[in-house]
Amino acid sequence: MTPDPPAGLGRDLGVGAGVDGEARRRLGAAQARVVAALVGGAEPPEGFDAERLRVQAGSLVAKRRSVVARLRPDAARAAGKDLVADFAAYARSRTAPPPGYRADADDFAAWLRTQGKMPAAPGEPAQSGELAQSRELAQSGELAQSGESGAVRGSVKGAWWRWLRRGVG
């Protein structure tokens, strides 16, 4: 038996047969509020158990932290025994996680550098703003005009193929 959806979702939004544009807009807005509560620290939407959302949000941060520590062991070493507290502070400082774990790991390392806990690696952007700007340039295609896109495309393509060969699960 499926439990009834929280107030403001499900039947109230017209979910089911004959969903119109307004119902989809309301559902999208309700989903955005749930996501904002889970990853952005926003207030829980009406009808949701605040404690359950807090616990789930903590679990999502813990998952991000463990993946980031595997992808950037240098950042995990730099944070040391403060990794849990530092990553929680980093996560709270953002309205939303970056697009992907690698970007999250790199941004956390940049955040640690701004806190004076991690030296910049040779050839690595010194500030998180520079890292985010590099990512935005790569996504916008502006690097293609500067002649650097082949390296970016190649590294992304290589990572994609390595992931595919590794298999899912």
pLDDT tens-digit series, residues 139-161: 444 433 434 334 444 455 555 55
Q: What is the CA radius of gyration of the chain?
A: 20
Confidence of residue 47 (pLDDT cuts 50, 70, 90): confident
Calculated CA dihedral for residues 62, 158, 106, 124, nearest 10 degrees: 160
72 burial level (CB within 10 Å; 0-12, 13-18, 19+): buried
Share of the chain above pLDDT 90, in %: 37
Output DSSP code: residue 118: S
User: Cα–Cα distance between 88 and 104 in angstroms, integer?
Assistant: 13
Calculated CA dihedral for residues 113, 118, 120, 124, nearest 10 degrees: -80
Backbone angles phi, psi at 116, to 5 degrees: 75, 20
pLDDT value of position 133: 47
pLDDT value of position 140: 45
Per-residue model confidence as pLDDT tens digits over 90-142: 998 888 888 999 999 999 999 999 999 998 776 655 554 545 544 444 444 44
